[in-house]
């Protein structure tokens, strides 16, 4: 009996000591571990595929979740420092040097895994467009019948303003079995008016419909908001220019141009004096009332 | 790992069954041993691994939604099928290498072989008993995986059906590994048998590399060595459809049947080899 009590006490106090020591180590950990997060991957995709033999799918899943965690951690850290404000254009300021390798290893381990290509097409162009194009080309070589990969590749070329190439890629994708008819239409549109907002809006709408990824849908929603806001700001600028032409001065308050803005079908907040952007934040007058811009706390991305 | 009381019940039970089957055909004797081997595995709590498997799937189903950005169905299939193969390989190897050794160690083999039963029949019965254990194991895991898929997809999904050819091929691979374990255990110690069987499992998944090496190496003798190894060792990469199953890929019937035929022939060779060696062993 006495022996059992001693053993039970050893277990209880032993576990308590383990917890205390673990907490001490957490509190006193130096930043070596953080530095190791950015260490280059030891394995390239081909080696990882060899070593994982029958379990390459599971290894690909592991690298995929690691990619998401890698970007997610950076975003959380950024949001902590910037009062929770983050949009996709901020990605270019992140040090995401491991992301291309992580996505390459994921897709080498499982070339039919579509999510990393889609994610790469959206995230990588902000960091390195050539890497993004290489990833998508690899995906197309491994999955030649997937029209969605052509859609993503066309999107990357469109982002780098190479409308001719984007048109060619969409046209190639449109020829694949199962490709939707709009692929042909958007190919023609890229050729004719690749830089227009309507073309961009159409592209984002199709990207939204084709994607199953919540993060991609959120990004696309914000980009459509940005396009809507650009149209609204153009409309407001026209109203402000008319007011200046008629009165010889710029509008000092929104109330000065409220009637004209209502006529231009802009959205207003409850007091009917402040025009709202697509995220529901009021626009602000700049340049002494001669111009308009997004508010600092607007959720509409600037780029 | 069996308890002494369980063993003491199991062995007279087997001797009685063999005795009662002595006037029947060889198949009845083999089935009696197989049934007993299955019961012994169950008494040894081999199927307890199912609890671990279920816990793994539950944890996966709950947490993967948060971590995988909408890829939980693919990942649950990869996780489930990989665990199925890994657990199955551990059972096939660690139980397989003990099938014969335990009977020799406990000296129950003498009681069995004193009955009108051939050594080949004994080995075949043991082999089929472990294959039955693996079948039950894989089938329950398959059902568990299908239910986990229904849970993560919040309803029916074609993957629930599409994963079954891959599950079947995993089972076929496990029957080959069991045969390899039995062959090694017919002439060596359990530890060495387990090690050698693991080697065969690993090399079996590198068959494509052996073939590629035989094509690229400059030395004629090395070329022959790699080519011989490629054909002699089981080509287990034919049974690896785990990753493809995660994408809903279903292999055509012909390739599944050819893979099954390859396994049957290979297992026949393994069992023939094991019988040949076991038949010559002197237990005095």
- A91, B220, B261 from B232: Cα distances, Å: 53, 18, 16
> Which secondary-structure segment (H or E) carries A4?
helix A2-27
pLDDT tens readout for residues A115-162? 999 889 888 888 888 999 999 999 999 999 999 999 999 989 988 888
Chain A partners within 8 Å of B78 (Cβ): 55, 57-58, 60-61
Q: Please tell me if residue A177 touches chain B, with a CB cutoff of 8 Å.
A: no
The per-residue pLDDT string of chain B (284 residues; one tens digit each, 9 = 90 and over) reads: 344 444 444 555 555 655 555 556 888 889 999 999 999 888 888 778 877 888 888 787 777 766 777 788 888 899 899 999 999 999 999 999 988 888 888 888 888 888 888 888 999 999 999 999 999 999 999 999 999 899 888 888 898 999 999 999 999 999 999 999 999 998 889 999 999 999 999 999 888 788 888 878 778 888 888 888 888 899 898 898 898 998 888 888 998 999 999 999 999 999 999 999 988 887 76
Chain B partners within 8 Å of A110 (Cβ): 243, 246
DSSP A275: B
Mutate to test the interface with A, among B57, B78, B153 (most CBs of A within 10 A): B78
Q: What is the 3-state secondary structure (H, E, C) of A277-292?
A: CCCCCECEEEHHHCEE
Domain layout of chain B by residue ranges = 4-205+240-280
DSSP A176: S
> Which secondary-structure segment (H or E) carries A236?
helix A214-247
* Closest CA in chain B for residue A55: B82
Chain A closest CA to B161's CA: distance in Å? 19
3-state secondary structure of A274: coil
Task: Return the beta strands (E) in A138-283 as ranges.
Answer: none
> Is the ipTM reported for this complex over the cut 0.85?
no
User: Which structural domains are found in chain A, ordered by start?
Assistant: 45-211 (1.25.40.10), 227-293 (no CATH)
Q: Judged by CB atoms within 8 Å, which residues 28-57 of B form the interface with A? A: none
* Closest CA in chain B for residue A61: B75
């Amino acid at each position: 009996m006495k022996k059992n009590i001693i053993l039970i006490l050893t277990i209880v106090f032993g576990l308590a000591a383990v917890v205390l020591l673990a907490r001490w180590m957490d509190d006193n950990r130096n930043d070596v571990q953080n530095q190791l997060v950015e260490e280059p991957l030891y394995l390239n995709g081909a080696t990882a595929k060899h070593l994982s033999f029958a379990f390459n799918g599971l290894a690909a899943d592991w690298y995929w979740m690691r990619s998401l965690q890698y970007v997610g951690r950076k975003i959380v850290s950024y949001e902590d420092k910037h009062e929770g404000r983050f949009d996709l254009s901020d990605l270019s300021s992140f040090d995401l040097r491991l992301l291309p390798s992580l996505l390459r290893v994921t897709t080498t381990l499982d070339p039919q895994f579509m999510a990393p290509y889609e994610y790469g097409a959206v995230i990588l162009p902000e960091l390195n467009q050539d890497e993004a194009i290489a990833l998508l080309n690899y995906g197309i070589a491994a999955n030649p019948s997937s029209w969605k990969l052509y859609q993503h590749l066309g999107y990357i070329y469109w982002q780098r303003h190479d409308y001719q190439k984007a048109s060619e890629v969409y046209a190639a994708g449109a020829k694949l079995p199962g490709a939707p008819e709009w692929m042909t239409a958007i190919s023609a549109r890229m050729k004719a008016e690749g830089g227009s907002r309507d073309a961009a809006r159409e592209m984002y709408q199709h990207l939204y419909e084709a994607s199953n990824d919540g993060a991609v849908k959120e990004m696309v929603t914000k980009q459509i908001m940005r396009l809507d806001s650009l149209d609204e700001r153009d409309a407001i600028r026209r109203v402000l220019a008319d007011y200046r032409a008629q009165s010889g001065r710029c509008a000092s308050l929104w109330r000065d141009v409220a009637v004209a803005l209502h006529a231009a079908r802009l959205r207003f907040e409850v007091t009917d004096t402040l025009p709202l952007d697509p995220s529901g934040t009021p626009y602000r007058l700049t340049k002494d009332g001669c111009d308009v811009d997004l508010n600092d706390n607007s959720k509409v991305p600037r780029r | 790992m069996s308890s002494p009381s369980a063993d003491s019940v199991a062995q007279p039970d087997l001797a009685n069954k063999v005795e009662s089957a002595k006037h029947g055909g060889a198949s009845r004797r083999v089935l009696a041993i197989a049934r007993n081997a299955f019961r012994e595995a169950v008494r040894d709590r081999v199927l307890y691994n199912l609890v671990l498997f279920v816990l793994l799937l539950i944890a996966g189903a709950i947490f993967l939604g948060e971590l995988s950005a909408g890829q939980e169905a693919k990942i649950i299939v990869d996780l489930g099928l990989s665990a199925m193969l890994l657990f199955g390989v551990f059972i096939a190897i660690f139980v397989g290498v003990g099938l014969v050794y335990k009977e020799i160690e406990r000296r129950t083999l003498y009681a069995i072989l004193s009955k009108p039963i051939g050594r080949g029949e004994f080995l075949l019965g043991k082999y089929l008993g472990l294959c039955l254990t693996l079948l039950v194991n894989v089938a329950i895991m398959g059902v568990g995986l299908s239910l986990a898929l229904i849970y993560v997809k919040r309803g029916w999904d074609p993957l629930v059906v599409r994963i079954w050819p891959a599950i079947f091929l995993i089972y076929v691979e496990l029957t080959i590994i069991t045969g390899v374990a039995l062959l090694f255990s017919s002439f060596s110690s359990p530890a060495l048998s387990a090690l050698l069987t693991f080697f065969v499992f690993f090399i079996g998944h590198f068959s494509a590399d052996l073939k590629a090496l035989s094509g690229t190496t400059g030395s004629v003798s090395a070329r022959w060595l790699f080519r011989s190894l490629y054909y002699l060792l089981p080509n287990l990469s034919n049974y690896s459809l785990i990753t493809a199953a995660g994408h809903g890929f279903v292999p055509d019937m012909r390739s599944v049947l050819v893979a099954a035929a390859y396994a049957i022939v290979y297992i026949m060779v393994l069992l023939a080899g094991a019988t040949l060696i076991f038949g010559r062993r002197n237990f005095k």
